[in-house]
Amino acid sequence: MVFRAAIVTPWVLAADDTSDAPSNHPLLSDEYVIEKWEDITGQATNNLPPTPNEYTVLAELDEDVLAAIDNDSDYDVLWSMEL
């Protein structure tokens, strides 16, 4: 089963990004297999504060991955629904 979930995650700056508009991405996508994600924080990438280092993404992922993230204290699952 595939789920959609809103998840609070730390963000990371792409190591090879040298542009004026940094390409922040969720740590979540580095640690788990996520089919796709979208930033729903509503804040420009350049304005994401380093403290706290977090933003909210809307992710599509498998049930097992969602369960693992839900049990990982580095992330907060705000809500989820089966697609």
Distance CA 19, CA 76 (A): 30
| C-alpha dihedral (5, 48, 27, 65), degrees to nearest 10 | 0
Structure tokens at 58: 């809307």
Task: Print pLDDT tens along the chain (83 aa).
Answer: 999 999 999 888 766 655 555 567 888 988 999 889 888 887 776 666 666 778 899 999 999 999 999 999 999 999 999 99
Count: domains in the chain:
1
Buried b (16+ CB within 10 A) or exposed e, 26-37: bbbbeebebeeb
Task: Identify the domain containing residue 45 by its residue range.
Answer: 2-82
pTM (2 decimals)? 0.80
